A and B are shown apart, each in its own frame.
Chain A
Amino acid sequence: MVSFFSCKKEKTTWNSQWQLPIVNDTLTLDNLVLDSILVVDTEGNYSVRTEQTLLDLKLSDVVVIPDTTLFITYNLPFAQANLPPGITIEGDLDQHDFQIEEADIKKMRVSDGKLNIKIENNLSDKIIYTVSMPGVIHNGIPFSENYEVPSGTATNPGTKTTVIDVSGFDMDLTGISGGGSNLVQTKIDVTTDINGGVVTMTQEDTVKIYIELKDVKVDYARGYFGGQVFSDTIDMNIDFLNNIASGVLALDKASINLGVKNGMKLPAKSTINMVESENNSSQTLRLSSTGENGFVFGIPFNIDPATGSWSTLVSSYHSILFNEQNSNLVNYIEHLGAKQKVGYQIAINPWGNTSGGWNEMFPESELKVEAAIDIPLKVGFNQLTLKDTFDFSITQNMDKTHAQKGQLILEANNAFPFSGHIELRFLDQNKNELYQTNATGEIKSSLFGNLTTTDNVQYHTSQLTVELGEIMFNQLNEVKFIEVNTVFNSPDPLDGTNKKYAIQEGAFLGVRLNGDVHLLNSY
């Protein structure tokens, strides 16, 4: 046994060196921001220009038609009658309240919805019921349908059910008088079977009719839509800004135009209570206005009704411009707040029913608040630190062939007028640091370069190495995240001070990253 174990083979090992490409890619501004919001100005420099909808109130938000079931009963007006075959007893015109909250609707057009009708008959012969809704009009014809309901008894009535698609139906909800609102008219006629016998009907016999209006949406409404108030505080998160750990961003100018567009024929009043941001340091900053733009936070402004009708509808428009002259907008953006809050209130018909019940909304009517943002990308960085963490998982068996040490070799072609210094942190599952290393040198700003592309974009080529020592490779299996910290500056090539520079059209960052690894081959 002793000799056996003494013969156990020692590990065979040797070193070999390998260099392989890891990353070869080119980043442009399109990779960093949506290309649809990038525009090039007349001087050939980039601006971010985009429109964001902050609020969009539509007819369905203002006028909500609840599901409503009309329960109609019909009894003989006298004690008993023997009804011969084929005779019709006309019912009375009746009206029922839709109970639409907040609004008094006189007329509406249904864009989607169903009418479920169920009739119960406890007479001894089948009966034809004629259901009429005089205010409900389809293709110019008032709604009236005949339903043949089989015979039944009081305990087991004959039933008839039907479903009618009411899309495109016009509804006059002014009731029998023509001056009401939210009222639907009905009329039920009863006809005995022409081929049947005499039907005896007493006051005990009740005809039950259920008319259910379900899932109704309207695309036109007229009436008084009530004094409704819509208010909210919108929370928005700009995730990208969460990656900024520290440092200063400097902008030259910026503007945001808040446009309030009212396509509803009703008056409204709006208040923007606050626009606030909170950055990574938990510092908050509110957007403020000097009032030169005719706007003060917390003070309501009027929104005029739209004019015209159907194809001639013209929305009213109210514009509030924030820029570097009339607000602290530039500071607000430089604050780099990832958490944004907007508090607002919109009141419709703020002065009551001043239109005589003639608010009107058409299919394209909406009350919309849009922000048109324009930020020329003439920016400066001062130690702006962007921190990004990505998942990483590579395992190696230290008893077998494994990487022992190495380095990353980075060649960067930078056409942005900013320099960057890179630090890598290798983190474990709990994001504790296992290893930290810095690149030798930095990615130089394009302003230091004298090379140009065929499109005349100036760039500078930098070569950096990042040493990865044995300590890192010994702990490689524990590395679950890599944190890349890049410190950006925008130095002037002449004096080194950070200044604001415009980003040239076609700017790019070409990255070629090689890994140079010393393998310890082992078996």
Chain B
Amino acid sequence: MRYILLIVIFSFFSTCFSQQYLKDELDTTAFKQIFFLNGIGEYSGNAIQNQVVSKLLFGGNISNSSIQNSLQNHLKINRLGFDASLQFQYQNFNRLIGKKKKYGFLINLENSFIGGIVYGKDLFQLVFDGNTKLDNNSADLSGTKFYSLGFQKIGLGFISPKSKSSISLNYFNISNYTQAEISTLGLEQSSDFSQIDLETQLEYNRTTGSRFDKGFGFGVDLDLRFPVPMQGGKSMNFQVLGKNLGFAQLYNNVESYAIDTSYTYQGLTFNQLYGEGTIFTDDFEVLDTLGINPKNNKKSLLLPGFIQIAKMTDSQSENKLQSYFGVRVYNLKEYAPLMFIGAQYNFYERYNVASHLTVGGFGRPRVSVILNARFSKFNIGISTNDVYGLVARKGLGKSLLIQMRCAI
């Protein structure tokens, strides 16, 4: 129930991110219209266990033992990503578009939220444990990158009724954006905590204000499906899938901090604590004192798009067992290229099950399972990209995807 809630919360009450099933299936059945509704909620990482992340998402007290368990999992470089979306697509195969009226049209609607962070162990320890137990009394946060984007999308495109290949142009509303990149952030402290040295070079941008539209963008989705001939006169169906390939422009409401400074703090003097103009006066601002002042900027950015090349399964295939594989590459620094390979087994006319192994993305290798039921005009599929994480408190992610299709 919680994972359904995760999708709902991300989709409606946050801003959400669009993913898509890694596995796609070619269905050349001629329909006049198809309605798709996809819901996706997922987070994954390589170090932070579900017993921590689930509390971060759903609330509750994170125990110190949970924190220590996750801390032990951390490597030098770690990733954590999350995405959620609610996506609707309408496909109309009446041949209305093109000189020879060869193409139908499609409409996209989507509400999405994506975010990710690449970070070191020290950042996790500082945030969740404080500064009293740092190894060697130092922390290196250099190389930390954080990104999150919330957007809404509406688009129109055309689709081939025969191959189901499609291309669409989408308009994006940007409702939320945060980005941070820490080139250098080193913290050194003496063993008695009497001195703290900070060396930092970082950039931080975020949209501010309560307005819903904080920027706009344009992007292209494409879904090219084509057979690749194989030996023996057979062929395999491949798909080149591109989503959100475009850019966005944020309005002049991006608060930007650029900090490049070294700072040594050994405590205050009595004069700073006592008398006029002390740190306890109402107008004392730490950032002002450090000479750190935000600027409001416009900012352009790439949409969080991806390209996936994959072998598809075929709904018309008479083979009970079919393989599929592929690779997906995002334009996000926080997201490592992801590869997957798996197989689908049709164990009954209307039902099939698929499973694949993924390597890359935000987390460690994961095993996915997809259950799909097909009726005459209605399909429903439910899957997870992390079987272990779905059930284990010590898992490193959770994933739940639901796809519904209604064909007329």
**Which of A's residues lie within 8 Å of B, judged by CB?**
7, 9-25, 27, 31, 390-394, 411, 511-514, 516, 519, 521
- Across the A-B interface, give the 10 residue pairs with the lowest CB-CB distance, nearest first: A10-B59, A24-B267, A21-B267, A16-B130, A14-B62, A17-B130, A19-B193, A25-B269, A18-B130, A24-B266
Which of B36-44, B270-278, B295-303 participates in binding chain A?
Answer: B270-278
B9 CB-CB contact with A under 8 Å:
yes
B131 CB-CB contact with A under 8 Å:
yes
**Given contacts A7-B5, A20-B196, A514-B193, are A25 and B130 in contact (CB under 8 A)?**
no
B293 CB-CB contact with A under 8 Å:
no
Chain B residues with Cβ below 8 Å from A512 are: 194, 267
B28 CB-CB contact with A under 8 Å:
no
**Pair B267/A23 contact, Cβ less than 8 Å:** yes
**Pair A17/B267 contact, Cβ less than 8 Å:** no
Q: How far is the CA of A390 from the CA of B277 in the complex (A)?
A: 12
Chain B residues with Cβ below 8 Å from A15 are: 64
Closest chain-A Cβ to B295's Cβ sits at a distance in Å of 26
Chain A residues with Cβ below 8 Å from B57 are: 9, 12
**Pair B129/A21 contact, Cβ less than 8 Å:** no
**Pair A390/B273 contact, Cβ less than 8 Å:** yes
> Which residues 63-88 in B have Cβ within 8 Å of A in the complex?
63-64, 67
**Given contacts A21-B193, A21-B195, are A393 and B268 in contact (CB under 8 A)?**
no
**Which of B's residues lie within 8 Å of A, judged by CB?**
5, 8-9, 55-64, 67, 127-133, 192-196, 265-270, 273-274, 278, 280-282
Q: How far is the CA of A27 from the CA of B55 in the complex (A)?
A: 48
Closest chain-A Cβ to B64's Cβ sits at a distance in Å of 7
**Pair B266/A19 contact, Cβ less than 8 Å:** no
**Pair B58/A19 contact, Cβ less than 8 Å:** no
Q: How far is the CA of A14 from the CA of B128 in the complex (A)?
A: 7
**Pair B267/A18 contact, Cβ less than 8 Å:** no
Knowing that A13-B61, A14-B55, A391-B281 are A-B contacts, what are 11 other residue pairs whose CB atoms are under 8 Å apart, sorted by A's residue number?
A9-B57, A10-B59, A12-B60, A16-B127, A18-B131, A18-B132, A23-B269, A24-B266, A25-B270, A391-B280, A514-B194
Q: Which partner residue on chain B sits nearest A9 by CB separation? A: B59
Subset of 5 A-B contacts with CB under 8 Å:
A7-B5, A9-B9, A12-B61, A390-B274, A514-B192
Chain A residues with Cβ below 8 Å from B196 are: 20-21
**Given contacts A14-B62, A15-B64, A24-B194, are A7 and B9 in contact (CB under 8 A)?**
yes
**Pair A17/B132 contact, Cβ less than 8 Å:** yes
**Pair A17/B129 contact, Cβ less than 8 Å:** yes
Closest chain-B Cβ to A408's Cβ sits at a distance in Å of 12
Chain B residues with Cβ below 8 Å from A394 are: 280
Q: Which partner residue on chain B sits nearest A14 by CB separation? A: B62
**Given contacts A20-B196, A514-B194, are A10 and B58 in contact (CB under 8 A)?**
yes
Q: Which partner residue on chain B sits nearest A388 by CB separation? A: B274
Q: Which partner residue on chain A sits nearest B270 by CB separation? A: A25
Chain B residues with Cβ below 8 Å from A21 are: 193-196, 265-267
Q: How far is the CA of A411 from the CA of B265 in the complex (A)?
A: 17
Chain B residues with Cβ below 8 Å from A19 are: 130-132, 193
Chain A residues with Cβ below 8 Å from B56 are: 12
Quick one: which of B63, B64, B128, B280 contacts A393, CB cutoff 8 A? B280
Q: Which partner residue on chain A sits nearest B133 by CB separation? A: A17
Q: How far is the CA of A15 from the CA of B55 in the complex (A)?
A: 13
Quick one: which of A13, A22, A391, A393 contacts B62, CB cutoff 8 A? A13
Closest chain-A Cβ to B5's Cβ sits at a distance in Å of 6
Q: How far is the CA of A220 from the CA of B129 in the complex (A)?
A: 80
Chain B residues with Cβ below 8 Å from A22 are: 267-268
Closest chain-A Cβ to B82's Cβ sits at a distance in Å of 15
Chain B residues with Cβ below 8 Å from A390 are: 273-274, 280
Chain A residues with Cβ below 8 Å from B268 are: 22-25
Q: How far is the CA of A144 from the CA of B61 in the complex (A)?
A: 100
Chain A residues with Cβ below 8 Å from B270 are: 23, 25, 27, 31, 511
**Pair B61/A14 contact, Cβ less than 8 Å:** yes
Chain A residues with Cβ below 8 Å from B62 are: 12-14
Chain A residues with Cβ below 8 Å from B193 are: 19-21, 514
Q: Which partner residue on chain B sits nearest A6 by CB separation? A: B5
Closest chain-B Cβ to A512's Cβ sits at a distance in Å of 6
Q: How far is the CA of A27 from the CA of B273 in the complex (A)?
A: 14
Residue of A14, A22, A519 contacting most chain B CB atoms (<10 Å)? A14
Q: How far is the CA of A15 from the CA of B133 in the complex (A)?
A: 13
Q: How far is the CA of A328 from the CA of B273 in the complex (A)?
A: 39
Q: How far is the CA of A25 from the CA of B57 in the complex (A)?
A: 44
Q: How far is the CA of A411 from the CA of B59 in the complex (A)?
A: 40
Closest chain-A Cβ to B131's Cβ sits at a distance in Å of 5
Closest chain-A Cβ to B61's Cβ sits at a distance in Å of 5
Closest chain-B Cβ to A217's Cβ sits at a distance in Å of 37
**Given contacts A23-B270, A393-B282, A519-B130, are A10 and B194 in contact (CB under 8 A)?**
no
Q: How far is the CA of A479 from the CA of B49 in the complex (A)?
A: 40
Closest chain-B Cβ to A159's Cβ sits at a distance in Å of 55
Q: Which partner residue on chain B sits nearest A517 by CB separation? A: B130
Chain A residues with Cβ below 8 Å from B194 are: 21, 24, 512, 514
Q: Which partner residue on chain B sits nearest A514 by CB separation? A: B193
Q: How far is the CA of A521 from the CA of B62 in the complex (A)?
A: 10
Quick one: which of A10, A18, A513, A521 contacts B60, CB cutoff 8 A? A10
**Given contacts A7-B5, A393-B280, are A14 and B267 in contact (CB under 8 A)?**
no
Closest chain-B Cβ to A12's Cβ sits at a distance in Å of 5
**Pair B60/A23 contact, Cβ less than 8 Å:** no
Chain A residues with Cβ below 8 Å from B278 are: 391
Q: How far is the CA of A390 from the CA of B127 in the complex (A)?
A: 33
Residue of B5, B273, B281 contacting most chain A CB atoms (<10 Å)? B273
Residue of B5, B129, B131, B194 contacting most chain A CB atoms (<10 Å)? B194
Chain A residues with Cβ below 8 Å from B61 are: 12-14
Q: How far is the CA of A10 from the CA of B59 in the complex (A)?
A: 4
Q: Which partner residue on chain A sits nearest B67 by CB separation? A: A14
Closest chain-A Cβ to B58's Cβ sits at a distance in Å of 6
Chain A residues with Cβ below 8 Å from B267 are: 21-25, 512-514
Q: How far is the CA of A24 from the CA of B271 in the complex (A)?
A: 11
Chain B residues with Cβ below 8 Å from A411 are: 192
Q: Which partner residue on chain B sits nearest A15 by CB separation? A: B64
Closest chain-B Cβ to A292's Cβ sits at a distance in Å of 44
**Pair B128/A9 contact, Cβ less than 8 Å:** no
Q: How far is the CA of A393 from the CA of B61 in the complex (A)?
A: 29
Q: How far is the CA of A462 from the CA of B377 in the complex (A)?
A: 82
**Pair A16/B129 contact, Cβ less than 8 Å:** yes
Chain B residues with Cβ below 8 Å from A516 are: 132
Chain B residues with Cβ below 8 Å from A14 are: 55, 61-64, 67, 128
Residue of B131, B267, B269, B270 contacting most chain A CB atoms (<10 Å)? B267
Q: How far is the CA of A306 from the CA of B390 in the complex (A)?
A: 105
Closest chain-A Cβ to B277's Cβ sits at a distance in Å of 11
Chain A residues with Cβ below 8 Å from B60 are: 10, 12-13
